[in-house]
Every structure is written in structure tokens, then in C-alpha cells.
């Protein structure tokens, strides 16, 4: 998912061309307090335009934190302008998810995603309860987490290994799609790839990008290859056929396949289908 | 503990000769679905034979997962054939422990161990509750955990550090003997030793082995030396003598000794006694 | 904070000259069982003397563990002799905090700190509940934790990364000042600095020192620079002014500043004020 400050109207067309799976118009950290009103106006203008020019690109809006004075209005404008999803930054409790979901339900909207941004000590501390409240997507925000806990970011990233791992596990348990931390150094491709590969190893399914140049790198790291997709479809077909005969475990390409591998195949196919739909 | 597929009848004598502290006859991942019936038959044949030829070698049976169609029959055959313990793979909840313990109690058996295989996201997420249900042994299964969470295994193993650490801590809290992850590369002794040493550093008390060549390496890493055993026995003697006089802390070899060190000495002596009994 | 065995009366003046933010007179691991009575007597002598010669240096007393036969008397002597705080070693449950706090309240004392020493498997397992019981300071004790869990200490320290990270997070959530693990190799400055820098990266706010030579190294790693202090004071001033106008987020030096950064600035100023008061 690729971020851009909502008031940078010039960036909206670039989001669509970037190849990202989804775009995020940011009303929070990327927008100064004095620019919040204008950014909100920009959201109401950009969302319909982007939907028209790129109907397959989901466009999320990152509202300001639930504790801020801007939250309620941000949320209203985003939902009323047709946002595909709402990003809740610095989430600290399940109530924020419920509040956003309540605003979605109130409007009778369906298919609007709630993305929980876990990027504070309280967010990590309550992450299991937050994800149980039902967001469909999340990200782990290393920069803000470390600032909040009073630590220091390092390239090796050992200072966030506990939090980053715990968020990935909680996401998996609650069927929340997990997006990995931002890499601020957007001119350093090697660093991004290194970080994305470890994010994938630890269980993340994608990356938050802050620059279009990061998008193809993320796609390469996280997108299954054609071989993997074909193999996964065959595996699911055989598994489904076996299930009809009451079998839960099958032999496939000389390997015994049980639930973890079936779930992995389902994820690969879900990603492939999502890519097919959005590209 | 050394694994072998239960239907590989030729391996049973090798398990006994390997020097492992215990053997596991596997009915799960090591056996194809079409071979399950035969493997179960092999269990009923091998267990009495092995008990006769090697009465001191505990032989466990790994049944199929509690959610599978094979679980109940696997469990019945293993217990009725005299298994020393039951390995529950991919455990996800305390109920599986209770179910196996219930089957043991129903038969009026005593001294049959329950080993919880923690190797899924749900297993790690619920590990504290699972261990509180009373298994006596556990292992952490890195391969399946990472497959389940959709990650990638690396040699450095940072992707499982959180889960591997959390399982070791929960095991310790609940007095569960903790066995460390498998090393699949069974021709790479250096890698095994490196992995075993870190497993020991983090609090594991042994290794799951998948090849006889790994057993002496594991024994060397995890077995206390004669010096350590002698020192631990002396320490416990002095501590017991002091306790009679109402003292909880003693001076020993110039060092102040309190509970953590006493518990460590007890573990060393317990291992030494177990080795004495089984070798 | 700098430790010295309480019965080493010769060290008390050195504690004051060390430049440490606080001193700890140790009645626990640093004192042999046969020396406990004398050490307690030394506490009752040293505390008033140190308060007279260095009124700004907080002097804590580390009592023996709550489960030991010495705990109650240690606590009484420390509190009745004017200790600035009580260090509870090897804490395993919130009840120990409550017991110490009860003894403080009983005497009608105020401003006496409770420091929870988290250095056992049980301590880490219950750390969230222990910190919720209200200690104001804590330390993570790697040596005892690893001994308790039956592991092995390594220089890289990966074996404690989970526990060390979890303690730092729980401390932050409960507003407990977190002090990082001891470095036993007190002749190895490089190692101390490396360890302290990572401790800081992970969210610790200071170090436990066991030798005066470690104090300036710790102070250099953890003390904010004059620039950071000045910048933090300005930030808090502007934030306070904005709050009067109902604004929670401000622009500061070209950056958007919200809660995490405000809390970080508050911590910097609190440290600066504490240093101003104690030096």
C-alpha cells in the first residue's frame, strides 16, 4: 500500500500509476495541523476522481488518531466520499475499531475495510484485543513505536523484533492481513528489500510504502510467482476432492499436505485473485 | 528424542541403538495418508518388541492431530500397545491435552507422558494455557510454525525468536521439559550444533532429532558433564542440610546460592538420574 | 544506579562520589548468609551518614527476596533508617510490591520508591501484573533470569531479547522507569557501552552498575544532551500553549508533533530536572 499526504493533490494520479495494490490518502502525520481542513477537502475531491479513473484501485484514508480533535470529521468525510477503507493510526484499544466500524454500519456501507495501525506501546500491549475487534488489515509502525517507548531505531531492527513478531502472530490468529513497517530511507533500495524480506520471513504479507519507487520492490518480495500460484491451485483442487471423500490430509507432489500448507496455498491464491482483480 | 516413521519397521532397532533418551514412532507427517493403517499396525507390533529388547528406552507415539480423522484410533492403538508417551502434533488448545490425558486415565495407565508439539500460530498464541493443562514434555516446531504463519525459514532463525523464546518460558513456568526445534539439514553437523547451542542458551533442555547422526551431537550439547553433576549433587546436599536449620540460602564454593541455582542443580541431577536409568 | 554490598562500609563514600543518579546498598546476592546481620546493621549506620553528607543522592536498599527468612527484617531496617527506595529482587508476583508498599504506608512514609527486580521466569511471566501493582522503577536482571530458565548467557544476548523487550514494554505501559541489565565484565568498557546502547534502543532509561567505572559510561549513554533538553523544553512550551487553544498536535521545527513525541520530550525534561536536583 502506498501513502501520500491527502493535500498533495498532484500525487493522486501517481498513486494510481504506481502499481500498488492500494493507495492511502493521509490526513494524519503527513499533514500539518494548519492543513487539515484543506486535506479533508482534498479527500472529498480525490476519492471520486480516483474511483472514476482507476475503479480497481482501493483507496483508503488515514484519519487522525481517535483521541484527536479531527477524528470524527475525518471519518465522516472519508466514508461519505467513498473510501475503500479507513486507516486508524496509533490505535490503542479495540474501541477505536468499534467506533470506525460503527460509523461504517451507520451509513449502511459494506466492504469498507478497517486498517489498524499498531505503532505505540499501548497498541502492541493490546494488539490481541484490538485485532479480535475485527479489523481486516493492519500495519506495524516501527518508527512511532520506538519513539513512543523512548527507544532508538537501528538498521538491524532488533529493538522492534519482539513487537514486530507479536503483531504478526496476533494478526495471523485473527485473520488480519499484516503489512510490515515503513522504510524511511526511500533512496536505499537494498535496505528496503532486506527489510521486506525479513518482514515476509516473519509472517507479514505486504509493505507500507512511502515512495512510488518502493512499490515494485515490495511487489517483487511479496507477490507469489506464477509457479507458486499454479501449484497452490492444484493443491487446493486435490485437497477439495479429498475432502469430499472425508480425507483431511493428502499426498501432493510427493509431500504430505495438511492444514498449514493448505492455508498457505489459500493465501497464495487469494493474493493471486486480488492481483488479478486489481491490476 | 529421535523420530522415525512408524511404518518403517526397519528403523525400530536403529532407534534403540542411537543413544537417544527416547524414541518417537511417528504416525503423522512422516506417514502418507494411504499408509496410516499399516503404520498403526506397525506401532502395535513395534512397541512390545522394543520394550522387550530395550526395556529402558521410552518409546513415544506421535498420533495425528486432534482435528484429524485418525486421532482417536491412533491414540487407542498407541496406549493399548504400551506407548511410554503420546506426542500431540500441531496442538492448538488445552483440550487436546485433556483428551489424551482422559484416554490415559480411562485405561488406568500411569506414568504415560503427554508431549505437546507447539508448531502453529494458534499453538504459540495459546501456549501458556496449553502447558497449564499439564503435559510433561513439549517441543517447538519451527518449520510448521513458519509455514502456518506464512513466513520463511532462515538459517539465522530470527523469524522464530519470539515464538521459540515464548514457548521456552511458558514451558519453564509450567514445569514442562522443553525440546528444541528440528534441524532438517541432517548432513550439516555444524548447523545442528549451532542451533542446539542456541536452543540451550534460550532454555531448552533437549532436541528433537530426525536422524541418528544428530543424537550424539544433541547429547553432547545438552548433557551435563560429570563435573557439573558432581557439583550439583554436593550443592543440593548442602542446601538440604541448611534447610533443616531453617536456611534458604547457602554459601557454596565461595558463591551465594539461592533458589535459581538450586533449581538449576535439581535439573542437572534429574537429567543425570534419567540418563543413569535409561542407558 | 550503582550497587554496593551493604556490609562493605568502605564503599559507601565511593557511591556518593561516583556520579550515579542513585545508590543501592545490597543486602541480597552481594552479602553471604553469615553476613546478613552485620549488613543490616551497616544499612542502619550508612543511610543517615550518607543522607547527611550527600542529601541529594537517593539511596535505595535491596532487601532479600520476599520468600526469604530475611525479608521482613531487611525491610523494617531499611525503612526505619530512611531508605529512599526499596529494591525487591527476584520478584515473582504483585503481592511483593503490595507488601513493601504496605510497610511504607504503615509507617506513614511518602516518596519512598519501590523498585521491582525482574530476574526470574516467574517475574517475566507475571511482569504486566507486577508493574500494574505500582512500582516506580524496575530493572531486568539477565544473569538470574537465564540461570532460572536453565539457559546460557551469551555476549550477543539473543537469549534474553524476548524477556528484555517484554519487560521494557510492560514498564512503559505502567509508567515504570526501566533500568537495563548488569554487565558483569566491569573491565570491558566497550562491552558495557554496546550493551547500554542497545538497552537504550529497546526502551530502557538507565543501567544498573556494579562498578564505579560503569557510571560515567551509563550517564553518557542515557543522559540527554543540552541540545535535546533545550529542544524538549521548547516543544513542551509550544504544546502547552496550543493545548490552551484546544489543539493536540503542533508543528515544531518543521515537524508535526503529536503524543509520542510529546511524551518523549516530557521524559527528557524529567531526566534533566532529576539530574539538576541530584547533582
Whether B161 has its CB under 8 Å from any CB of chain C: the answer is: yes
| Residue to substitute from C163, C259, C266, interface A, most A β-carbons within 10 A | C259
| Residue to substitute from B140, B225, B258, interface C, most C β-carbons within 10 A | B258
CA distance C97 to chain A (A): 22
Contact at CB, B264 and C122, closer than 8 angstroms = no
Q: Looking at residues B209-234, what average pLDDT do you find?
A: 93
Contact at CB, C125 and B173, closer than 8 angstroms = yes
The overall average pLDDT reported for chain C is: 92
Contact at CB, B148 and A249, closer than 8 angstroms = no
Q: Both A158 and A193 in a single domain?
A: yes
Q: Looking at residues B270-275, what average pLDDT do you find?
A: 81
From B203, B222, B241, the end of a domain falls on: B222
- DSSP, res A89: T
* ipTM (interface pTM): 0.90
Query: Considering only CA atoms, which of B45, B44, B49, B4 is closest in space to residue B24?
Result: B4
User: Quick one: what percent of chain C has pLDDT higher than 90?
Assistant: 75
- Say what angle helices C189-201 and C214-222 make with each other, to 10 degrees: 30
pLDDT at B279 over 60: no
| Residue to substitute from B172, B235, B261, interface C, most C β-carbons within 10 A | B172
Contact at CB, C150 and B267, closer than 8 angstroms = yes
Q: Measure CB to CB from residue A201 to each of B90, B152, B162 and give the nearest one.
A: B152
A231: cell is 501449484
Stretch 95-134 of chain C: residues touching chain B, C-beta under 8 Å: 120-122, 124-125
Identify the weakest region by mean pLDDT among A4-18, A84-98, B228-242, C256-270. Answer: C256-270
Whether B33 has its CB under 8 Å from any CB of chain A: the answer is: yes
Q: Measure CB to CB from residue A256 to each of B32, B90, B161 and give the nearest one.
A: B32
How many C-beta neighbours within 10 Å does residue A24 have? 28
CA distance B20 to chain A (A): 26
Q: How confident is the model at residue C279 (pLDDT cuts 50, 70, 90)?
A: very low
Phi and psi, residue B76, nearest 5°: -60, -50
Q: Measure CB to CB from residue A264 to each of B65, B68, B150 and give the nearest one.
A: B150
Q: Write the secondary structure of B39-97 as one string of H (helix), E (strand) and C (coil).
A: HHHHHHHHHHHHHHHCCCCCEEEECCCCCCCCHHHHHHHHHHCCCCEEEECCCCCHHHH
A246: cell is 472425508
For residue C270, the model assigns a pLDDT of: 86
Q: Both A116 and A236 in a single domain?
A: no
Give the helix ranges, DSSP H, for C137-258: 142-149, 161-173, 189-201, 214-222, 226-244
Q: Both A155 and A237 in a single domain?
A: no
Whether A201 has its CB under 8 Å from any CB of chain B: the answer is: yes
Whether A148 has its CB under 8 Å from any CB of chain C: the answer is: yes
For residue A279, the model assigns a pLDDT of: 46
Contact at CB, A258 and B154, closer than 8 angstroms = no
Q: Both C156 and C273 in a single domain?
A: no
Q: Both C241 and C135 in a single domain?
A: no
> How many domains does chain B contain in total?
2
Whether C162 has its CB under 8 Å from any CB of chain A: the answer is: yes
Q: Which residues pair with A2 in a beta bridge?
A: A23, A209
Whether A161 has its CB under 8 Å from any CB of chain C: the answer is: yes
CA distance C153 to chain B (A): 6
Give yes or no for a contact between A235 and A265, defined as CB atoms under 8 angstroms apart.
yes
Give yes or no for a contact between A38 and A16, defined as CB atoms under 8 angstroms apart.
no
Q: Both C241 and C133 in a single domain?
A: no
Contacts of C230 (CB under 8 A, 6+ apart): none
A268: cell is 497464495
Q: Which domain holds residue B245?
A: 226-277
d(CA A123, CA B40): 48
Q: Write the secondary structure of C101-124 as one string of H (helix), E (strand) and C (coil).
A: HHHHHHCCCCCCEEEEEECCHHHH
pLDDT tens, B120-145? 999 999 999 999 999 999 999 999 99
Chain B residues near residue A247 by CB distance under 8 angstroms: 33, 69
Contact at CB, A125 and C256, closer than 8 angstroms = no
For residue B243, the model assigns a pLDDT of: 78
| Residue to substitute from A127, A129, A147, A151, interface C, most C β-carbons within 10 A | A151
CA distance C232 to chain A (A): 13
Higher-confidence residue of C64 and A259: namely C64
CA distance A105 to chain C (A): 28
Whether A205 has its CB under 8 Å from any CB of chain B: the answer is: yes
pLDDT in tens, chain A (279 residues): 999 999 999 998 899 899 999 999 999 988 888 889 999 999 999 999 999 999 999 999 999 999 989 999 999 999 999 999 999 999 999 999 999 999 999 999 999 999 999 999 999 999 999 999 999 999 999 999 998 998 999 999 999 999 999 999 999 999 999 999 999 888 899 999 999 999 999 999 999 999 999 999 999 999 988 888 999 999 999 988 887 776 666 778 876 677 777 888 888 898 888 776 544
The overall average pLDDT reported for chain B is: 92
Whether C200 has its CB under 8 Å from any CB of chain A: the answer is: yes
Whether A151 has its CB under 8 Å from any CB of chain C: the answer is: yes
Q: Both B127 and B240 in a single domain?
A: no
Q: Both A165 and A269 in a single domain?
A: no
Q: Measure CB to CB from residue A159 to each of C201, C260, C264 and give the nearest one.
A: C201
From C183, C207, C222, the end of a domain falls on: C222
Q: Measure CB to CB from residue C201 to each of A68, A148, A152 and give the nearest one.
A: A152
| Residue to substitute from C28, C33, C157, interface B, most B β-carbons within 10 A | C33
Whether B168 has its CB under 8 Å from any CB of chain C: the answer is: yes
The CA distances from residue A134 to A96, A173, C254, in Å, are 11, 11, 36
Give yes or no for a contact between C23 and C57, defined as CB atoms under 8 angstroms apart.
yes
Higher-confidence residue of C32 and C7: namely C7
CA distance B170 to chain C (A): 8
Q: Give rounded-to-5 percent helix, strand, coil for chain A.
A: 55, 15, 35
End-to-end CA distance of chain B: 14
Whether A31 has its CB under 8 Å from any CB of chain C: the answer is: yes
Q: Both C188 and C132 in a single domain?
A: yes
Q: Looking at residues B50-76, what average pLDDT do you find?
A: 95
CA distance A86 to chain C (A): 20
pTM of the predicted structure, to 2 decimals: 0.92
From A181, A207, A222, the end of a domain falls on: A222
Q: Both A273 and A202 in a single domain?
A: no
Give yes or no for a contact between A22 and A58, defined as CB atoms under 8 angstroms apart.
yes
Q: Both C172 and C47 in a single domain?
A: yes
pLDDT tens, C115-154? 999 999 999 999 999 999 999 999 999 999 998 998 999 9
Touching chains, B (3+ CB pairs < 8 A): A, C
Q: Both A140 and A271 in a single domain?
A: no
Contact at CB, C260 and A120, closer than 8 angstroms = yes
Domain harbouring A22, CATH code:
3.20.20.60
For residue A246, the model assigns a pLDDT of: 66
| Residue to substitute from C258, C263, C269, interface A, most A β-carbons within 10 A | C258
Inter-chain CB pairs, A–B, below 8 Å: 84
DSSP string, A229-271: HHHHHHHHHHHHHHHHTT-S-EEETTEEE-HHHHHHHHHHHHH
Q: How confident is the model at residue B277 (pLDDT cuts 50, 70, 90)?
A: low
Chain C residues near residue A155 by CB distance under 8 angstroms: none
How many C-beta neighbours within 10 Å does residue C245 have? 6
Chain B residues near residue A205 by CB distance under 8 angstroms: 150
Contact at CB, C202 and A159, closer than 8 angstroms = yes
d(CA A204, CA A181): 9
Whether A143 has its CB under 8 Å from any CB of chain C: the answer is: no
Inter-chain CB pairs, B–C, below 8 Å: 85
Q: Measure CB to CB from residue A256 to each of B29, B125, B152 and give the nearest one.
A: B29
Q: Which residues pair with B62 in a beta bridge?
A: B26, B87
Helix (H) or strand (E) run with residue C267 in it:
helix C259-278
Q: Measure CB to CB from residue C150 to each of B162, B205, B250 and give the nearest one.
A: B205
Whether A65 has its CB under 8 Å from any CB of chain C: the answer is: yes
Amino acid at each position: 500500500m502506498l501513502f501520500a499526504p491527502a493535500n498533495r493533490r498532484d500525487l493522486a494520479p501517481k498513486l494510481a500509476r504506481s502499481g500498488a495494490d492500494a493507495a492511502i490518502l493521509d490526513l494524519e502525520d503527513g499533514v500539518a495541523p494548519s492543513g487539515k481542513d484543506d486535506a479533508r477537502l482534498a479527500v472529498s475531491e480525490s476519492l471520486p476522481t480516483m474511483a472514476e479513473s482507476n475503479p480497481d484501485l482501493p483507496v483508503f484514508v488515514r484519519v487522525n488518531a481517535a483521541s484527536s480533535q479531527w477524528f470524527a470529521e475525518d471519518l465522516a468525510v472519508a466514508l461519505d466520499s467513498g473510501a475503500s477503507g479507513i486507516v486508524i493510526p496509533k490505535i490503542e484499544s479495540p474501541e477505536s475499531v468499534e467506533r470506525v466500524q460503527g460509523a461504517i454500519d451507520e451509513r449502511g456501507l459494506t466492504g469498507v475495510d478497517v486498517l489498524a495501525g499498531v505503532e505505540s506501546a499501548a497498541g502492541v500491549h493490546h494488539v490481541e484485543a484490538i485485532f479480535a475487534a475485527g479489523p481486516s488489515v493492519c500495519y506495524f509502525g516501527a518508527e512511532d513505536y520506538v519513539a513512543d517507548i523512548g527507544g532508538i531505531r537501528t538498521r538491524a531492527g532488533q529493538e522492534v523484533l519482539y513487537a514486530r513478531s507479536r503483531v504478526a502472530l496476533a494478526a495471523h490468529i485473527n485473520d488480519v492481513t499484516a503489512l510490515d513497517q515503513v522504510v524511511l530511507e526511500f533512496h536505499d533500495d537494498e535496505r528496503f528489500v532486506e527489510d521486506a524480506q525479513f518482514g515476509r520471513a516473519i509472517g507479514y504479507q505486504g509493505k507500507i510504502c512511502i515512495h512510488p519507487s518502493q512499490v515494485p520492490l515490495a511487489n517483487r518480495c511479496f507477490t507469489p510467482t506464477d509457479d507458486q500460484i499454479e501449484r497452490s491451485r492444484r493443491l487446493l483442487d486435490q485437497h477439495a476432492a479429498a475432502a469430499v471423500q472425508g480425507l483431511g490430509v493428502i499426498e501432493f507432489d510427493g509431500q504430505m499436505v495438511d492444514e498449514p500448507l493448505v492455508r498457505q496455498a489459500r493465501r497464495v491464491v487469494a493474493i493471486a485473485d486480488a492481483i488479478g482483480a486489481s491490476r
